[in-house]
C-alpha cells in the first residue's frame, strides 16, 4: 500500500498494491489538491471545488485493472465537475457508477438532475459534461466505479438505460447489491484477483439492473391503460401548475373532464393523496432551490411562495418533517457544498 504524497500514476493491480490517498498525511493546505490529483489519476480528469471554511478531509482507497478503476471514498462534501477540457484529456469513454454509502449525490447531466441516496447506484457518462454535488451532514461516502464502455455488458438503447439514471436500493438485484456491499466494507483487504472478479461482476450486472429498472418504469406507464392514462395526465397537469397556490383536485378534474372523486381514486391507488403528492413535489423543488447557486440568496419565504406555499409556518413544518432540517438549517448546512 502507498499513502498520498508520491506518484499516483502507477499500474496498481499489476503491482498487487492499493493506492491510498488520506489527507491526514498532507500539509493542512494541500489536502484538496492531493485528493483532486488522486481522483483525476484514477478516474480521468475531474475538477473538485470545496468552499467550506472547515478543513477538507478525504480518504480514498483505489485500484485499477482492465475493468477500470474502483475506489472506496470518504470525503468532505464538495462539487465535482467534468467539462470540455477534462473530457478532452480523457483517454477513453467509460460509464461511471457511484454506490452511495452515506449522504446523497446529485448528478446533473443530459439536461436533467437525478439524486442517489443511501444504497442507491447512479450511472452517468464520462463522455458528456457532468456536475456532481455531494450532500451530507458529515463525510460523504461511496464506492466509485469507472468501467470502460467496451467492458460493460451490452444493452440496447444504452444511453436511455444507463445515461444519468438511478437504480434505487429497492430495485437493486441481489447479486449486485451483495457485490457493492462487500466492496464498501472490505475493499482495502480484497486481493487483486478478488477485485477483478468483483469488477467483472459489476460490469456484467449494472446494465442488467439498470435495464430492469428502466423496463419497470416503462411498464408502469403501459399497464392498465385507462387509469394510468389519467394518472400520467394528472402528473403532467400538476407539474405544469406546481407553483400555483390554488392548485386543487377540482382544478385537475375540470382540466381533464373527470370527477373529483376519480382524481382521488387515482392517487389512492398509488397509496397517497393529491395533497401529499403535490406537497412532496413542492418540497423537493424548494429543497433544490435553497442550495442552488442562482437562488441561494433569495429569502426562504420567496422560494416557498415561488413553488405554491402561501402559509410559511405550514411550509416550515412540512419541510422539517420531510428532510429533518428547517429550511434555514438546510440552506446553512448544504448551500456551500
12 domain residue, yes or no: no
Last residue of a domain, one of 196, 220, 244: 220
Helix, coil or strand: residue 101: strand
Query: What are the tens digits of pLDDT across the range 67-117?
Result: 999 999 999 999 999 988 888 888 888 999 999 999 999 999 888 899 999
pLDDT at position 5: 37
pLDDT at position 4: 39
3 domain residue, yes or no: no
Intervals of the chain under pLDDT 70: 1-17, 28, 216-228, 336-337
250 domain residue, yes or no: yes
The CATH number covering residue 54 comes to 2.60.120.10
Going by C-alpha positions, the residue among 237, 271, 277 that lies closest to residue 257 is 237
9 domain residue, yes or no: no
- What is the value of pTM for the model shown? 0.62
Distance CA 137, CA 156 (A): 39
Say yes or no: 166 and 233 in one domain: no
Hunting for cell 480514498 — which residue is that? 60
Q: 112 lies in which domain range?
A: 19-220
Going by C-alpha positions, the residue among 189, 125, 188 that lies closest to residue 161 is 125
4 domain residue, yes or no: no
Distance CA 244, CA 238 (A): 9
Say yes or no: 23 and 103 in one domain: yes
Note whether 10 and 65 are within 8 A (CB): no
Say yes or no: 268 and 171 in one domain: no
How many distinct structural domains can be found in the chain? 2
pLDDT at position 1: 38
84 domain residue, yes or no: yes
pLDDT at position 336: 57
Distance CA 107, CA 131 (A): 6
Distance CA 307, CA 147 (A): 39
Say yes or no: 98 and 176 in one domain: yes
User: How many C-beta atoms surround the C-beta of residue 165 within 10 A?
Assistant: 21
Say yes or no: 239 and 209 in one domain: no
The CATH number covering residue 303 comes to 1.10.10.60
258 domain residue, yes or no: yes
Question: Half-sphere exposure of 315 toward its Cβ, with a 13 Å CA cutoff?
Answer: 23
Last residue of a domain, one of 187, 220, 253: 220
81 domain residue, yes or no: yes
Write the DSSP symbol of residue 30: T
Say yes or no: 72 and 207 in one domain: yes
Distance CA 186, CA 195 (A): 10
Say yes or no: 124 and 236 in one domain: no
Q: 249-256 and 260-269 helices cross at what angle (nearest 10)?
A: 110
Say yes or no: 211 and 229 in one domain: no
Strand ranges in 30-171 using DSSP code E only, listed in sequence order:
47-49, 58-65, 68-75, 79-82, 94-102, 104-109, 112-116, 121-125, 130-135, 140-148, 165-167
- What is each CA distance from 153 to 156, 201, 204, in whole angstroms? 10, 10, 5
Say yes or no: 291 and 255 in one domain: yes
Say yes or no: 232 and 216 in one domain: no
Say yes or no: 114 and 189 in one domain: yes
Say yes or no: 74 and 202 in one domain: yes
Last residue of a domain, one of 220, 239, 255: 220
Distance CA 16, CA 196 (A): 11
Amino acid at each position: 500500500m502507498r499513502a498520498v504524497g508520491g506518484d499516483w500514476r502507477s499500474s496498481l493491480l499489476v503491482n498487487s498494491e492499493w493506492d491510498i490517498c488520506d489527507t491526514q498525511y498532507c500539509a493542512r493546505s494541500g489536502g484538496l489538491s492531493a485528493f483532486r490529483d488522486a481522483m483525476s489519476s484514477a478516474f480521468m480528469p475531474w475538477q473538485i471545488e470545496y468552499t467550506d471554511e472547515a478543513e477538507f478531509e478525504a480518504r480514498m482507497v483505489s485500484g485499477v485493472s482492465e475493468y477500470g478503476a474502483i475506489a472506496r471514498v470518504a470525503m468532505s462534501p464538495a462539487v465535482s465537475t467534468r467539462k470540455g477540457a477534462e473530457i478532452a484529456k480523457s483517454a477513453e469513454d467509460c460509464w461511471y457508477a457511484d454506490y452511495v454509502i452515506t449522504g446523497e449525490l446529485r448528478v446533473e447531466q443530459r439536461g436533467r438532475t437525478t439524486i442517489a441516496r443511501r444504497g442507491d447506484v447512479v450511472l452517468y457518462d464520462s463522455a458528456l459534461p457532468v456536475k456532481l454535488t455531494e450532500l451530507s451532514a458529515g463525510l460523504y461516502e461511496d464506492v466509485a466505479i469507472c468501467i470502460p464502455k467496451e467492458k460493460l455488458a451490452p444493452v440496447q438503447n444504452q444511453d436511455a438505460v444507463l445515461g444519468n439514471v438511478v437504480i434505487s436500493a429497492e430495485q437493486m438485484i441481489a447479486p449486485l447489491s451483495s457485490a457493492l456491499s462487500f466492496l464498501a466494507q472490505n475493499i482495502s483487504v480484497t486481493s487483486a484477483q478478488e477485485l477483478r472478479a468483483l469488477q467483472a461482476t459489476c460490469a456484467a450486472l449494472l446494465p442488467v439492473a439498470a435495464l430492469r429498472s428502466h423496463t419497470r418504469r416503462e411498464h408502469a406507464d403501459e399497464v392498465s391503460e385507462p387509469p394510468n392514462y389519467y394518472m400520467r395526465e394528472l402528473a403532467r397537469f400538476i407539474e405544469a401548475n406546481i407553483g400555483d397556490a390554488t392548485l386543487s383536485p377540482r382544478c385537475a378534474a375540470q382540466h381533464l373532464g373527470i370527477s373529483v372523486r376519480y382524481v382521488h381514486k387515482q392517487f389512492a391507488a398509488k397509496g397517497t393523496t393529491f395533497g401529499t403528492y403535490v406537497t412532496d413535489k413542492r418540497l423537493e423543488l424548494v429543497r433544490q432551490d435553497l442550495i442552488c447557486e442562482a437562488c441561494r440568496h433569495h429569502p426562504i419565504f420567496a422560494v416557498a411562495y415561488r413553488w405554491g406555499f402561501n402559509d410559511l409556518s405550514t411550509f416550515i413544518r412540512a419541510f422539517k418533517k420531510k428532510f429533518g432540517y428547517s429550511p434555514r438549517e438546510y440552506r446553512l448546512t448544504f448551500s456551500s457544498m
